[in-house]
Amino acid sequence: MDIDLSSDDLAFQQEVREFLATNAYKHGADYAQWRLNWFKLAREKGGWDVTKWPEAFGGPGWSPTQHYIWEQETAIAQTPWDLPFGLSMLAPVLMSHGNEEQQNRFLPDIRDRKVNWCQGYSEPNAGSDLANLKTKAVLSEDGSHYTVTGTKIWTTLAHIADWIFCLTRTSDSGKKQEGITFLLIPMKQAGIEVKPIITLGGSHTVNMVHLTDVKVPVENRVGEEGKGWGYAKGLLAHERTGLAGISKSLAALENLRKQANEVKRGNGTLLDDPSYRAKLAELEIDLLATEFTELRSLASAANGAEPGPESSILKLKGTEIQQRIQKLTVEAGGIYSAAWGAMPVGHMFARGGMSGYLSSRAYTIYGGASEVQRDVIAKNVLGIKRSQTK
């Protein structure tokens, strides 16, 4: 694949760099205000605040190469934090399956970053086997609302979310993938309880969410009743592509080289160690190969295609690569990495490296475990079918 940049692409790259440099965060400024202003200025550039949205919904209409340039440059620059749940996961579902009223109601606030969303998919007994979900949604006799009861788990940032997009079961008949309905539920109401789950890395990012007789107006249903599984699969494809984090891994790998070059080893540095250099080289080769898969995915998207099974390849390899970067960061920190929970000692990166490594153990689980991704790849990419036993 030819990824040489044309003169127009180089001009675009320079424009992006200038925008990022001009609007970078300045030490001491009000971060919240800077963040909102950054997205406002990005919007004025012509959809730079919603780069992955279709042009019909306010996106920039970029080519695959322009998307590639943006991902590369923003991975290096200091850009404001952004949550994917509304912007990159729910929004495409609303664009494809929501009615006009829902699009007008929810998309503007998602774009303006006024409302935080979380994802109500996994349950205590329905993680990788998501279609086994048990959360019930019962339609009222007058057809005006659903009553939802059940439990969701590993719900990222549910404790700060205003809304949850939720998979619920409205029927037990037929295959387990059938009878699943996609609902939008306000979090701040009676019957919803959020309990924190502290991760191995010591952070509070995920939660358990209990729903007890929660009333949901029927107009908050996306698409048809019982068709939610199809919508969920499309959303998962967008999620898995985003979780790959290829551009961020490229930047993290370059940073890791700089950190290794700070660690003394004999008369040189850790970067001079043949064994460590070999690990970095192997990691870089795998990362570049995954990057080319991402570029092919971008090219397909530019032609109007939805994310396909290649999103599972990206998620599988991308998250494994992120874990390997974290592992090599801990190795670079050496004995100082063990002090991550106490006062920092040794290399400045060592403390964060251990915390990042511990948190990274979940990367190959959330968004669909690696075993699930391998099943998807085997069936939909390699064409391998399950053997039928009598």
Question: Which one from 73, 123, 239, 331 is the annotated catalytic residue?
Answer: 239
Report d(CA 135, CA 152) in Å as an integer: 8
The question of whether 371 is a catalytic residue gets the answer no
Pair of tokens at residue 102:
């829902």
Pair of tokens at residue 212:
């007890």
Nearest to 96 by CA among 229, 222, 241, 236: 222
Q: Rounding to the nearest 10 degrees, give the CA dihedral for residues 147, 220, 43, 79.
A: 20
Report d(CA 144, CA 13) in Å as an integer: 51
Report d(CA 126, CA 130) in Å as an integer: 5
Length of the chain: 390
Distance of CA 337 to CAs 212, 321, 324, 329, 343, Å?
A: 43, 20, 16, 9, 11
Pair of tokens at residue 41:
């200025």
Report d(CA 351, CA 275) in Å as an integer: 23
> Which residues are annotated as catalytic?
239
